[in-house]
Amino acid sequence: MRSRLIPTVTGDRPDPAAALADGTPTGADLVAMAQVLASCPAVWAPLAVHDPEHRVHVRLTAGMRWEAYLITWPSGHGVEVHDHGAASGAVAVVAGSLVELVARRTVRPGAERLVRHRLGAGTVRPVPAGRIHDVVNTGPFPATSIHVYGPALETMTFYDDELQPVRTERVFAEPPLLALDEVRARLAAARTPA
């Protein structure tokens, strides 16, 4: 599936109530949730903290079977090559640009093991369960992104340069910064004409 642009605030944005439902989300639901959250800076912008030395991630909000993180990326920073366990996801870049490095399932001799996908501001990209990838800010300026996962992250496995697993870490859910009702209220306020 190709990356999709975030709809404009006055355009064809998914309905927030439907997108932020508490059912078991599909991949399309996760993309819709990421679009809705990304398209409303009132939800995330006041919480975006940029540290010039470290990537900062916070659990923005969560439903019963999904969660959303706000991540700020200084120039030159990334994660490591990893997967998200059983969770699917979606990444929405809200400021700056990122590069997703996706592992190839099969690699010809001499071929690159990771395929680059540029994710500019406004891009939403699905992350299917089982995808091995890395996300890096290769640009000169900080970047900000929203990541939505369903089900909530439980483990992340990290891989070496040969794409062999080297460790699996358990993810302990921190309390979200915003209750889901607060997110819904901010989304509704943003949709209300002035």
pLDDT tens by residue, 70-116? 999 999 999 999 999 999 999 999 999 999 999 987 666 656 688 99
Domains of the chain listed by start with CATH number: 4-171+178-184 (2.60.120.10)
Give 126-137 pLDDT, tens digit per residue.
999 999 999 999
How big is the chain by its Cα radius of gyration, in Å?
Answer: 16
Q: Kindly indicate the confidence band of residue 4, based on its pLDDT and cuts at 50, 70 and 90.
A: very low
Residues 62/176, Cβ–Cβ less than 8 Å: yes
d(CA 181, CA 187): 10
Q: Which has more confidence, 172 or 22?
A: 172
DSSP code for 19: H
Contact 100, 3 (CB under 8 A): no
The residues near 192 (Cβ < 8 Å, ≥ 6 apart) are none
**How many residues are listed for the chain in this entry?**
194
163-183 pLDDT per residue, tens: 899 999 999 989 999 998 898
pLDDT at 156 > cutoff 90: yes
The answer to whether the bond into 151 is cis (omega within 30° of 0) is yes
Whose CA is closest to 128, among 24, 19, 14, 30? 30
